[in-house]
């Protein structure tokens, strides 16, 4: 039995599908909205009887303890979190309380359960802040903003429970995960929405010595990220963190042109200056995940874009991708 929090969200829903496809039974935990539609679709399609939906507030320690004691999962994948740098700056109390307390309750419930499940906490490359890439796991943290800080505090909690209580818990640090069902503020969705509606695509970057340099990011396909997450639950060492990205920088301007070509609708590309808190370059060193987890990303940018656009256009048309 596996337990997934954030199970109705972008990455969580793909993780649930992968676990079910591998023959596991899943306790799918999420907020009552917006995931009910996805859950209903999942149950109706294939997996009724293998997935148990649970809607709850993970900030309730008593409810989380009861949940884990009742189901006694072998593994807990904790993906549930509020995720937005911009909103976290406006709502710091909400982000820190939600993200930190939910994880603390999961770790404490896992510690109290006999036998304790292995816990995989999904963190973010935002813990590296504006340090020069490539970002490796041995870099000191430099989180900027409440969202990044909440993830770093979460990592420290994981390490504390691993060292103080011997809880088998690991961290995966996602870089820019993209793919089907991504959120509305994900760059894939933003670009696709603008192109499909005939609007110009805005590419962020920074003017350096009079020359505009588009931002670069480490885009990793959701299927590859899910594979790394599952491998971390199998092979990850207690208390360790693992980067999950492609390990290479991709220009957002290149992404824009790939998306335009895939959708087949010509629009302008407009250059914009990055906000002061945004890094010009960000990509990870994924050699540790390759070495210790036996994982490597398989999906290149063009394939990511083509898969996403196929899904996106079918979603807009109200049909199933063929």
Strand partners of residue 217: 250
The residues carrying an active-site annotation are: 147
Cα gap 141→159, rounded to integer Å: 14
Q: To 5 degrees, how large is the angle CA 304–CA 245–CA 30? A: 80
Of the candidates 281, 240, 247, the one whose C-alpha atom is nearest the C-alpha of residue 137 is: 240
Pairing of strands 219-221, 241-244: unpaired
In angstroms, what CA-CA distances link 198 with 3, 185, 192, 260, 262? 42, 18, 10, 10, 14
Of the candidates 219, 198, 225, the one whose C-alpha atom is nearest the C-alpha of residue 9 is: 225
Across the chain, the runs of DSSP E, i.e. the strands, are: 2-5, 26-30, 51-55, 75-78, 118-124, 169-174, 176-178, 201-208, 211-214, 216-217, 219-221, 241-244, 250-251, 269-273
């Amino acid at each position: 039995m596996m337990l997934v929090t954030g199970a109705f969200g972008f990455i969580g829903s793909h993780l649930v599908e992968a676990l079910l496809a591998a023959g596991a039974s899943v306790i799918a935990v999420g907020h009552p909205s917006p995931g009910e539609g996805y859950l209903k679709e999942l149950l109706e399609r294939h997996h009724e009887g293998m997935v148990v939906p649970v809607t709850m507030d993970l900030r309730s320690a008593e409810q989380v303890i009861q949940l884990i004691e009742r189901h006694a999962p072998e593994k807990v994948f904790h993906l549930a979190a509020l995720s937005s740098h911009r909103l976290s700056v406006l709502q710091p109390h909400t982000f820190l309380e939600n993200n930190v307390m939910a994880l603390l309750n999961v770790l404490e419930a896992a510690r109290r359960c006999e036998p304790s499940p292995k816990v995989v906490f999904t963190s973010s490359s935002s813990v590296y802040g504006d340090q020069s890439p490539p970002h490796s796991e041995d870099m000191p943290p430099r989180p900027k903003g409440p969202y990044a800080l909440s993830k770093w505090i979460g990592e420290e909690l994981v390490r504390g429970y691993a060292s103080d209580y011997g809880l088998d818990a690991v961290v995966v640090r996602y870089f820019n995960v993209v793919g089907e069902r991504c959120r509305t503020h994900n760059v894939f969705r933003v670009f696709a929405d603008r192109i499909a509606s005939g609007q110009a695509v805005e590419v962020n970057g920074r003017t350096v010595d009079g020359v505009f340099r588009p931002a670069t990011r480490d885009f990793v396909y959701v299927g590859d990220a899910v594979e790394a997450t599952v491998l971390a639950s199998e092979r990850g060492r207690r208390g360790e963190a693992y980067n999950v990205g492609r390990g290479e920088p991709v220009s957002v301007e290149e992404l824009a042109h790939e998306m335009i070509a895939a959708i087949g609708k010509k629009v302008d590309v407009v250059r914009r200056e990055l906000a002061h808190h945004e890094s010009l370059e960000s990509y990870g060193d994924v050699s540790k995940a390759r070495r210790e987890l036996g994982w490597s990303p398989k999906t290149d940018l063009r394939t990511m874009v083509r898969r996403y656009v196929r899904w996106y256009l079918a979603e807009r048309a109200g049909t199933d991708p063929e």
